Amino acid sequence: MSDPLVSVDRLNADFFTLLGLPKQFGLNQAALDSRFRELQREVHPDRFAAADDAARRASMMLATQINEAYQTLRSPLKRATYLLNLAGLDVGAESNTAMSPEFLMRQMVWREQLDDARSDGDLTALTQLQAEIDDEVAGAYGNLANALDKGSETTDAVETVRRLMFLEKLHQSINDAIFDMNDC
């Protein structure tokens, strides 16, 4: 490849290195957005129209990888999962569904509250549940930031990510129910 912008090292870099950002959970969203736009301009395939085939293919691959990096790092949940994977830890969302009994009970209560509010058409109950879940999500992300950026126990981070996966799905279900009620 004739252009250093599309070097093999860049193609093989982790997402943080690729975007030139610190390898940490707490990222500045504006810096991430700015860096993404800057890099997309640098490696845009149109800039390599007159280059040889290898450079054009490499620019296309790098542009795709930059986009994937951005999509991963802009989502806190995906970013946390990615950081854990870089540390050699598998979140095991598909295979490991074990959680504390307390959290499992809370899941059941929240699901029942959602089902009851949905069947009763109770927008107020849905809004209250949404606020409760928002608080849970905020607290979980705070715990995650401590675990990932301050060197806490990474097993706590793995469990927190799995909890957040549930909470994010529940949050989406609540939003869908609210939308359906407002749409009627």
- Amino acid 57: pLDDT: 84
The number of CA neighbours under 13 Å toward the Cβ of 121 is: 4
Q: Cα–chain-centroid distance for residue 44? A: 25
CA–CA gap between residue 107 and residue 150 (Å, rounded): 28
Q: Where in the chain is the domain with CATH 1.20.1280.20?
A: 101-183
Given pLDDT bands bounded at 50, 70 and 90, which one contains residue 4? very low
Per DSSP, 4 falls in state G
The per-residue pLDDT for range 119-128, each reduced to its tens digit, is 999 999 999 9
Inform me whether the pLDDT recorded for 30 exceeds 80: yes
C-beta of residue 24 within 8 angstroms of C-beta of residue 15:
no
| pLDDT, the chain, mean | 87
- Amino acid 17: pLDDT: 93
Q: Cα 92–95–96 angle (5° rounding)?
A: 65
Inform me whether the pLDDT recorded for 179 exceeds 50: yes
Specify the higher pLDDT residue, 38 or 94.
38
Buried b vs exposed e over 128-141: b needs ≥16 C-beta within 10 Å?
ebbeebeebbeebb
Given pLDDT bands bounded at 50, 70 and 90, which one contains residue 150? confident
DSSP letters, 155-168, are HHHHHHHHHHHHHH
Specify the higher pLDDT residue, 56 or 21.
21
Inform me whether the pLDDT recorded for 40 exceeds 80: yes
Inform me whether the pLDDT recorded for 61 exceeds 90: no
CA–CA gap between residue 83 and residue 14 (Å, rounded): 10
C-beta of residue 49 within 8 angstroms of C-beta of residue 55:
no
Q: Where in the chain is the domain with CATH 1.10.287.110?
A: 4-74
Count of positions (residues) in the chain: 184
| Domain 101-183 coded CATH 1.10.10.10 | no
Q: Which CATH architecture has domain 4-74?
A: Orthogonal Bundle (1.10)
pTM of the full structure: 0.82
**Token pair belonging to 171:** 């949050």
